[in-house]
Amino acid sequence: MLTILFDGIAYGMILFVLAVGLSVTLGVMNVINLAHGTFAMVGGYAGVVLVNRWGVPFLAALPLVALVAAAVGLLLERTLYVHVYAKSHLDQVLFTIGLVFVSVSVVSWAAGSQVVFIQLPEFLRTRFTVFGASIGAYRLLIIVICGVLALVLQGVLARTRFGARLRAAVDDPVVARGMGIDVARLFMVMFAVGSGLAGLGGALGAEILGLDPSFPLKFMVYLLIVLTVGGGSSITGPFCAALLLGIADVAGKYYLPSVGAFVIYSVMLAVLLVRPQGLFAPR
């Protein structure tokens, strides 16, 4: 039972890292970005290439993967997304779905449609027994990394000047601009950071979630659910929501395999009915 709890937490952590970048574009910049999963996929496949083909050690590859995904995010943001900020939501939906289709086909053509794995180093493939529960080293690593990231993000947001400027830009972009804060640049940086985090999540999650070209389509839903339940534009909201959903999903599939996949959708629909703005939204 503890193993399932542990697995659920690990799963939830990955969802969090994937979703936090989306909370930036969605909640803050008000752009419906359904293509967020693409950056995760880019990160995942970058991991495959770095670790499997070029022999880069796994732990060293993780920050590199985040950089690659951030770079791709930045590129797309400057060239394509800028055109879409002012457009209607329907246009944004069409645009980002189009991006997903293109990226899925390109990766599929380049790497084939089968599921790929990143070769983990030996020390990450061991398991320990803690309090009678069997725990994998890899999942432990995920929880540690994502937990630290969550703390760092929260710290930056709450305690640094940069974080203060960010919160100002989120609360009221017009006034923030009036005060001399370069809102456009802030948003650009946030987009890149969000994409980088997604890439990291993709690489970390490849082992657990399975990495294949249809990754963006499969997980887009889960990410949107995390955001909808958690409420956009904060760190704690998606964090708690991701954990809740991760545990619910894994536990559901274990104890009630016939109902498994419905748990997540039902939770989301229920939350939307009661609190359409999300469980943890400020208002």
Partner 1 sequence: MTVGAATAVLARAGRWRWPEVVFWVAAGASWFVLPEQHLLLNEICILGLFTLSLDLVLGFAGIISLGHAAFFGCGAYIAGMLARAGYGDPVLGLVAGGVGAGVLGFATAFLVLRGSDLTRLMVTLSVSLVLFELANRLTFLTGGADGLQGMAVGAVLGRFEFDIFGAVAHAYSLVVLFVLFVAIRWIMASPFGVSVRAVKGNRLRAAAIGIPVNARLVGIYALAALYAGVAGALLAQTTQFVSLDVLAFHRSAEVMLTLVIGGTGMLYGGLVGAILFKVAQDTLSNLTPEYWQFWLGLIFVALVVVGRERVFGWPAALWARVRGR
Partner 2 sequence: MISRRTILAAGLVAVLAAPAVAQTPFKVGLILPMTGQSQSTGKQIEAAVKLYIAQNGDTVAGRKIEVIVRDDAGVADTTKRQAQELIVRDKVGALAGFGLTPLAMATAPLASQAKVPMIVMAAATSIIPNQSPFIVRSSQVLPQTAVAMAQWAAENGIKSAVTLVSDYAPGIDAETWFVKRFKELGGEVKESLRTPLASPDFAPVLQRAADAKPQAMFVFVPSGQGAAVAKQFAERGLDKSGIRLIGTGDVTDDDQLNGMGDAMLGVVTSGHYSASHPSAANKAFVAAFKAANPGMRPNFMAVAGYDGMHMLYEALRKAGGTADGEALVAAMKGMSFESPRGPVLIDAETRDVVHNIYIRRVERVDGELYNTEFATISMLKDPAKAAPKP
Q: Given the rule CB under 8 A, which residues bind partner 1?
A: 26, 32, 80, 83-84, 87, 89-95, 97-106, 108-109, 217, 221, 224-225, 228, 258, 261-262, 265-266, 268-269, 272-273, 276
- 17, 173 Cβ separation under 8 angstroms: no
Cβ-contact 40, 107 below 8 angstroms = no
Nearest to 159 by CA among 151, 148, 169: 151
Give the separation between CA 229 and CA 69, rounded to whole angstroms: 26
C-alpha span between 103 and 111 (Å, rounded):
12
Q: Which does 125 bind (CB under 5 to 8 A by kind): partner 1, partner 2, none?
A: partner 2
DSSP helix/strand/coil, 85: coil
**Distance of closest approach, residue 226 Cβ to partner 1, in angstroms:** 11
Which of 107, 141 has the CB closer to partner 1?
107
Closest CB to partner 2 among residues 191, 219:
219
Please measure the distance between the N-terminal and C-terminal CA atoms of the chain and give it in whole angstroms.
36
Smaller CB distance to partner 1: residue 11 or 81?
81
> How far apart are CB 134 and partner 1 at their closest, in Å?
29
Contact yes or no for 226/242 (Cβ under 8 A): yes
By a kind-dependent CB cut-off of 5 to 8 A, residue 87 interacts, out of partner 2, partner 1, none, with partner 1
Which residue lies nearer to partner 1 by CB, 207 or 212?
A: 212
Closer to partner 1 at the Cβ: 56 or 281?
Answer: 281
Give which of 189, 182, 197, 273 is closest to 239, Cα–Cα.
197
Which stretches of the chain bind partner 2, using CB under 8 A? 3-4, 7, 108, 112-115, 117, 125, 127, 134, 136, 138, 207-208, 210, 212, 218, 250, 253-254, 257, 260-261
- Residue among 106, 56, 76 at smallest CA distance from 194: 76
